[in-house]
Amino acid sequence: MNESIEKLLKKKDELQKKANELKEKRDQLHLKSKKLADERDTLNSTIRDIRNKISEHKKKRDELNERVKHAKDQRNKLNKNYSEIKKHVEELERKRLLASGTNLNNLRKQLRDLETEQMTQPMSPQKEKKLIETISEIHAKIKEVEDKLNSDPKLKKALEEEKIVKQKAEKQHDLVEKLASRAQEEHENMMKLVKQLDNLIKKVNDIQETIVMTKIEADRVHKEFIGCVDEIHSLERQISESRDKKRKMKKIAKAGAAKREADEIFERFKRGEKLSTEDLMALQKAGLI
């Protein structure tokens, strides 16, 4: 019997050790799950902030793109106006030159050719001197023709208008470029955040998957822990029952021994033998006197 209880106690101690290990492992898994959940929640908060920033960049980009579209329309109108004015100026120049009998374009081309020849072709000093004189004459002729053209009130007014419209068109083009650059910058900043957002979402999904797997493992360990606890309780009941049975058997054995001793004393009493006080108390306890 003692050996049986000792085996039960040993098994209980082993199960208790295993239960403690399982409890610690379960608690560690719960702690890990909590830390992962905190990390996930922090990342989700960051994701919300990034989504708001993406929306802001997208809104600014779209607004700038609308401004670019409007600025381009204005630029195109100015360019068209400039082309029309330029044609008008060229037509006036053509008429004035035709009236003067001078072909200004030919003079300018001739000047360019002679200047190129002077810079690139080897020649004698005499020939170069003559060439320089010819270039000077053409320069003077071109200046004379241009002065006459610029002195024409109608042409002068058209040239001034052409200059103003050209400046407006160039200024509008600069505005288009500036707005387009800002729109592109907003788009690039948005795309950087989109990429960052995708990485964070992937990380959150990975963490969430780990949380689920950790909780599943924690539940499995907890069930195993409960199984150990139930088995420990079962062993405790067995140990308690075994101890009760052992006590009862000892009590019965003790009572049987006392009965046998009392019967022996009673036989001595019937034979007339002298009994001691302890003998009389044993007979009284056994209910024989």
Residue 14 lies in a domain: no
Q: Which range has the top average pLDDT, 91-95, 149-153, 205-209, 265-269?
A: 205-209
Q: Could you give the CA distance from residue 77 to residue 173 in angstroms, rounded to a whole number?
A: 11
Per-residue pLDDT at 216:
96
pLDDT mean over 230-257:
82
Q: For residue 145, give its domain range.
A: 35-203
Per-residue pLDDT at 73:
96
Lowest-confidence pick of 41-50, 177-186, 202-211, 266-275: 266-275
Please give the share of the chain, as a percent, with pLDDT higher than 90. 51
> Which has the higher per-residue pLDDT, 145 or 70?
70
Residue 160 lies in a domain: yes
Q: Could you give the CA distance from residue 14 to residue 8 in angstroms, rounded to a whole number?
A: 10
How many beta carbons lie within 10 A of that of residue 135, not counting itself?
16
Residue 284 lies in a domain: no
pTM given for the model:
0.61
Residue 102 lies in a domain: yes
Residue 219 lies in a domain: no
Per-residue pLDDT at 68:
97
Q: Which range has the top average pLDDT, 5-19, 49-63, 107-121, 272-286?
A: 49-63
Per-residue pLDDT at 24:
96
Tokens encoding 251: 């009590």
CATH number (domain holding residue 198)? 1.10.287
What digits encode the pLDDT tens for the residues 25-51?
999 999 999 999 999 999 999 999 999
pLDDT class of 98 with cuts at 50, 70, 90? low
pLDDT class of 283 with cuts at 50, 70, 90? low
Three-state SS annotation for the chain: CHHHHHHHHHHHHHHHHHHHHHHHHHHHHHHHHHHHHHHHHHHHHHHHHHHHHHHHHHHHHHHHHHHHHHHHHHHHHHHHHHHHHHHHHHHHHHHHHHHHCCCHHHHHHHHHHHHHHHHHCCCCHHHHHHHHHHHHHHHHHHHHHHHHHHCCHHHHHHHHHHHHHHHHHHHHHHHHHHHHHHHHHHHHHHHHHHHHHHHHHHHHHHHHHHHHHHHHHHHHHHHHHHHHHHHHHHHHHHHHHHHHHHHHHHHHHHHHHHHHHHHHHHHHHHCCCCCCHHHHHHHHHCCCC
Amino acid (1-letter code) at residue 163: K
pLDDT at 1 over 50: no
Per-residue pLDDT at 289:
61
Residue 24 lies in a domain: no
Residue 165 lies in a domain: yes
Q: Looking at the 3D structure of the chain, how many domains does it have? A: 1
Residue 7 lies in a domain: no
> Which has the higher per-residue pLDDT, 162 or 56?
56
Q: Could you give the CA distance from residue 139 to residue 133 in angstroms, rounded to a whole number?
A: 10
> Which has the higher per-residue pLDDT, 166 or 246?
166
